[in-house]
Amino acid sequence: MRNQDPGKMGRQRKSIKLYPTHPLVTFPRSWAKFQEKALLVEETFTIDEVSEVLNGLQAVVHSEVESELINTAYTNVLLLRQLFAQAEKWYLKLQTDISELENRELLEQVAEFEKAEITSSNKKPILDVTKSKLAPLNEGGTAELLNKEILRLQEENEKLKSRLKTIEIQATNALDEKSKLEKALQDLQLDQGNQKDFIKAQDLSNLENTVAALKSEFQKTLNDKTENQKSLEENLATAKHDLLRVQEQLHMAEKI
């Protein structure tokens, strides 16, 4: 064993520092460089020198692995943030399956992919000028979807307007018919009062029975018309609410 210059050992420790890419890839390169510059040149090392080299290697490996894990975690967080933002924009409901995180088969596939990536990174990249590239994304798809939604809302708006107009006409006709029936009842009651003094008691009894039957039938018809009118008014109110909702959706879609 012999003494070693501390400054020289510091330079040797610096020579084994890993590159900031991937620890599994850069560590063999750094170790090979260290062997070439120091281990193959020097014949013997002291215990302190060996311990110092090992401690340096441990610190470098620990630092690089920790940095790589932190960067991977941050990258995953940013990726998930982008996915969630896009899902929120298009009102998508995402579902996660926690059991997939413990799927041994999938984990092995990820490990194989990682090994293949490391192997390919050790090789020199070969540029393929004939390889086709994907066309860049644009906003054409979004604009087309918005235009289709606007057209659909416009068509629904026109249908609701037509339905509203039909219901208004039906309600007006029902009110007119109700007014005519009420006037006919008043005329019938007036005629009955004018003729009561000129009709015999027997004829009067028969006439009263007839009037009662007519009145009952009229009342039934009037009730049916009233219920029909209420139904039409409810349909009219519903159609107006639907029209306002569609117009609001159309207005929001045009703003987008």
What number is the average pLDDT over the span 2-25? 41
pLDDT attached to residue 224: 78
Express each pLDDT in 21-34 by its tens digit. Answer: 444 445 556 666 66
Tokens of 168: 């208004």
132 to each of 49, 117, 177, how far by Cα in Å? 54, 21, 75
For 249, residues 6+ apart whose C-beta sits below 8 A from its C-beta are 153
As a whole number of angstroms, the distance between CA 118 and CA 109 comes to 14
pLDDT attached to residue 66: 93
Phi, psi of 109 (to 5 degrees): -65, -40
Percent of the chain predicted with pLDDT > 90: 7
Q: For residue 130, what pLDDT band results from cuts at 50, 70 and 90?
A: very low
As a whole number of angstroms, the distance between CA 21 and CA 30 comes to 12
Decide: residue 96, CB within 10 A, 0-12 exposed, 13-18 middle, 19+ buried: exposed
Higher pLDDT, 185 or 223: 185
pLDDT attached to residue 202: 66
Percent of the chain predicted with pLDDT > 70: 70
What number is the average pLDDT over the span 215-240? 81
pLDDT attached to residue 75: 93
Express each pLDDT in 92-123 by its tens digit. Answer: 777 777 888 788 888 888 888 888 888 877 66
Higher pLDDT, 8 or 170: 170
User: What average pLDDT does the structure give for the chain?
Assistant: 74
Q: For residue 46, what pLDDT band results from cuts at 50, 70 and 90?
A: confident
Higher pLDDT, 175 or 251: 175
As a whole number of angstroms, the distance between CA 35 and CA 39 comes to 5
Decide: residue 38, CB within 10 A, 0-12 exposed, 13-18 middle, 19+ buried: buried
Distance of CA 234 to the CA centre of its chain: 35
* Residue type at position 229: Q
pLDDT at 134 > cutoff 80: no
As a whole number of angstroms, the distance between CA 134 and CA 118 comes to 25
What number is the average pLDDT over the span 47-51? 83
Question: CB 18: neighbour CB atoms within 10 A?
Answer: 23
As a whole number of angstroms, the distance between CA 161 and CA 239 comes to 8
Q: pTM value?
A: 0.32
Eight-state DSSP code of residue 20: S
150 to each of 19, 49, 126, 172, 246, how far by Cα in Å? 54, 76, 49, 33, 10
As a whole number of angstroms, the distance between CA 149 and CA 197 comes to 74
Higher pLDDT, 248 or 7: 248
Domain edges within the chain: 6-94+102-122, 142-255
Higher pLDDT, 24 or 254: 254
pLDDT attached to residue 18: 37
pLDDT at 14 > cutoff 50: no
pLDDT attached to residue 11: 40
Express each pLDDT in 63-86 by its tens digit. Answer: 999 999 999 999 999 998 998 888
pLDDT attached to residue 197: 61
Decide: residue 154, CB within 10 A, 0-12 exposed, 13-18 middle, 19+ buried: middle
Eight-state DSSP code of residue 130: T
